[in-house]
Chain A
């Protein structure tokens, strides 16, 4: 099976702009989670989607949003970008068998905000 894919791999934006990142989970996986990784804060949970519904949300401002489509693919959007949004954004998918499962991560999207 193909792994988790994320597009684009690299992005450069300027402050105030918005950005959309895409994630395609492993075939058959219905849960998709997003994480932000920065040198200062480490790996932090953004949100999780299951069957097109947001089930969990981390402690991030409303500028960060996401959605999941019927084919389980997910997108996250960051509006009004700030310098501090520069980070590696990681998407993970899991089978979701009723409890917490192994999450398989994609290669990430490196976002740089200038």
Chain B
């Protein structure tokens, strides 16, 4: 079963706009990770945020984590057509092991 739900399921924006995706999860966690997947290919790791962190930045990416609400958001600023992909959040479900529980994913379409 999947740990989390992502919202929205699909998002369509223009190049240059910002894209925000939200992830909710069910159990306590040690960390939360965001991944990108291009059209049925492997997952590319974007960012990891630990449970004692509230915000993290990496290039055009900004991730927030609210453990009290069991939610996280991923913001992509100044989006590009190359950002078109599916984005997944994943948690370790508090196990501390290498067992990720994935959300349902958000499909992002960035039009030129």
Contact = CB atoms under 8 A, between A and B. Distances in A.
B99 A48 contact: yes
Interface stretch (B16-24, B34-42, B64-72, B74-82): B34-42
Interface residues of A, number: 30
Interface residues of B, number: 26
A108 B105 contact: no
Contacts of B98: 31, 33, 48, 50, 55-56, 92, 94, 96, 100-101, 103
B56 to A, nearest CB: 13
A101 B45 CA distance: 11
Interface of B: 1-2, 30-31, 33, 35, 40-45, 48, 88, 90, 92, 95-102, 104-105
Interface of A: 4, 31, 33, 35, 42-45, 48, 50, 55-56, 58-59, 88, 90, 92, 94, 96, 99-108, 110
22 contacts: A43-B88, A43-B90, A44-B102, A48-B97, A55-B98, A56-B95, A56-B98, A59-B1, A88-B40, A96-B98, A99-B96, A100-B30, A100-B95, A100-B98, A102-B48, A103-B45, A103-B100, A106-B42, A108-B40, A108-B41, A108-B42, A110-B40
